[in-house]
Structure 1
Amino acid sequence: MKKQISSVQNTYIKQLVQLKDKARERKKSGLFLIEGIREINLAVKGNYKIDTILYYPDLISETKLDTFSNLAANSIEVSKDVYEKLAYRDTTEGLLAVAKSKNHTINDLIFQSKNPLILVAEAPEKPGNIGALLRTADAANADAVIIANPKTDLYNPNIIRSSVGCVFTNQIATGSTDDIVAFLKSKNINIYCAALQASVNYHTQDFTKPTAIVVGTEATGLSDNWLKHATQNIIIPMQGEIDSMNVSVAAGILIFECKRQRNFN
């Protein structure tokens, strides 16, 4: 018998609203919400386990629904009111998924390449910036994204949305700055810090060896521990009146210089 939920007061739906809105609930349950066909497809491609599929039949064809219903043991038809309560957007084709989160500890990182290229961001807060960083890393096919001293959990719906699902396609780790510095050094990965102090122009450096590009927030930059352990601090020459640019734009310039030097391999 097909399961249906029509009331926003349903206990399970209330739990899902908590998952959507509260990082504490996501962490406690190990579950999070994914909205949209593209994002769910990317989560499956990234080997995320789908726990439940929820759908609003007026927005999704039976053919598409058959494809996604097979992903999970549970499939629930929801009413328009329930769908609108759970969805951030009204253009996501009537599909939501409850998925199981992954472990993102630094020691779980596995590099397929002997010459890895890694993007490190210290203490990013804005989901839009985090999403843009993840899109940049995906576009460059970086080996990993590492977030030091994270301020926002990875399964925040705004990160999933702003990354257009790239939160699922990147290999991601989180940890303290101290632990990440120690990890990079143990792997003999050169550390290039985007910073104003004691810096050289970024294009003068050799990024063809194992490389970590490290960016900080626009407000405070990188902590001293990064600068102390950097192979070299690097800077993007600025020709206007200001001395910084959006962190995701800076990361894109630096990562793609690395790719250019590696002949986009």
Structure 2
Amino acid sequence: MNVNYDPLISSVQNDKVKQWASLLDKKYRDRTGQFLIEGVHLVLEALKGSVGVMAIIYDAERGIPAELATVREERQAAGTNDAEWVQASRAVMAKCTGTDTPPPVFAVVTKLSADTKTLFTGNCLVVVLDGVRDPGNAGTIIRSADAVGADAVILGKGSVDLYNPKTVRSTMGSLFHLPIIEADLLALLPQAKAHGIKLIGTSLQAQHTCYGYDWTQPTWLLMGSESEGLSRDVREQVDESVIIPMVGQAESLNVAMAATVLLYESLRQREYNNL
């Protein structure tokens, strides 16, 4: 494999560079159906999955990271290396990633697609975000959902854009491992109820702790915004609210920590209750 054959782009005024950099803006992500991922780990995760990787751009001074070079050779041998590989100057890398210290590689990827029918099947566990606006919190919840084997994550209106670069980074690749759907909750929640799925929220006024709820039944876990919790319309759909007990002096847990506690209680009941 001779990477010298990869085209080199050094000018930030190049049309391709302008197109890539535009994907830092949600408007252009929505218009093109593409988004950016940064760093070796995320690019590797995308290449391992069924994601459409359109182009892989790496720092010409550093060369292709060793892990990616190996995967590239394997994909070439298998005839599946359909992504465009491009060398770029440090200035181009910085412009397209919006960071002071640009990563060694980034990629242009097509937006994910997921079938909403999977949300209602079997003994499902789905995490629903209602107005969660912080990219770090949303990304952490997606990672936790992935870690416990949840079936999907739903981002309701008012939540952070899944394809915001900060959100993408904070998922650490978990967005490629489970269905993540952006949807109107007021349309989806009644459908869940019609399928016999319990809608569970959290409340400081709840009468039962999260350890008393039966997480082995089909459940959608509803988590609200960092400052206001669940919106009124969504709260009215909740079948039961639980509270996470706290015996120390902390006033509360942030939404990502709370979701993680609840998801791991679900995992304990579903997989480890008889140990």
Answer yes or no: same fold by TM over 0.5.
Answer: yes
Q: Counterpart in 2 of 1:249?
A: 257
Deviation at 1:153, TM superposition (A): 1.6
Provide structure 2 residue ranges, at least 5 long, that are not aligned to the other structure: none
Q: Is 1:156 aligned to residue 164 of structure 2?
A: yes
Match for residue 50 of structure 1? 53
Partners of 2:65 and 2:223 lie apart in 1 by 45
| Counterparts of residues 97-116 of structure 1 (less than 5 Å) | 97-103=107-113, 108-110=116-118, 114-116=122-124
**Equivalent-residue separation in structure 2 for 1:62 and 1:203 (angstroms):** 45
Cα contact 1:148–1:180 (8 A) shared by 2: no
1:180-219 correspondence runs (5 A)? 180-219=188-227
Matches within 5 A, 1:91-170: 92=103, 94-103=104-113, 108-110=116-118, 114-170=122-178
Mean Cα displacement is larger for which, 120-129 or 71-80? 71-80
TM-score, reference length from structure 2:
0.86
- Aligned partners of 2:120 and 2:192 also within 8 Å: no
Gapped runs of 5+ residues in structure 1?
Answer: none
CA distance, structure 2, for counterparts of residue 145 and residue 49 of structure 1? 20
Output the TM-score relative to the length of structure 1.
Answer: 0.89
Shift of 1:38: 1.1
CA distance change for structure 1 residues 7 and 234 in 2, over 3 Å: closer, same or farther?
same
4+ residue runs of structure 1 moved beyond 6 angstroms? none
Q: In the alignment, which residue of structure 1 is the partner of 2:13?
A: 9
Distance in 1, matches of 2:240 and 2:140, equals 25
Residues 55/214 of structure 1: CA separation in 2 closer, same or farther (3 Å cut):
same
Q: Which residue identity is paired with 1:51?
A: M
Q: Distance in 2 between matches of 1:218 and 1:165?
A: 23
CA 73–236 in structure 1, closer or farther in 2 if over 3 Å, else same:
closer
Task: Decide whether aligned partners of structure 1 residues 253 and 194 sit closer, same or farther in structure 2, where only a CA change above 3 A counts.
Answer: same
Alpha-carbon distance between aligned partners in 2 of 1:30 and 1:196, rounded to the nearest angstrom: 40
Distance between the aligned counterparts of 1:261 and 1:40, measured in 2? 34
Separation in 2 of the partners of 1:12 and 1:19?
Answer: 11
2:95: which partner in 1? 85
Matched residue of 1:203: which SS? coil
Corresponding residue to 2:246 among 238, 241, 246: 238
- Aligned-partner SS, 1:76: strand
Q: Does 1:67 align with 2:71?
A: yes
Instruction: Look up the SS of the partner of 1:208 in the other structure.
Output: coil
Identity %: 32
CA RMSD of aligned residues (A): 2.4
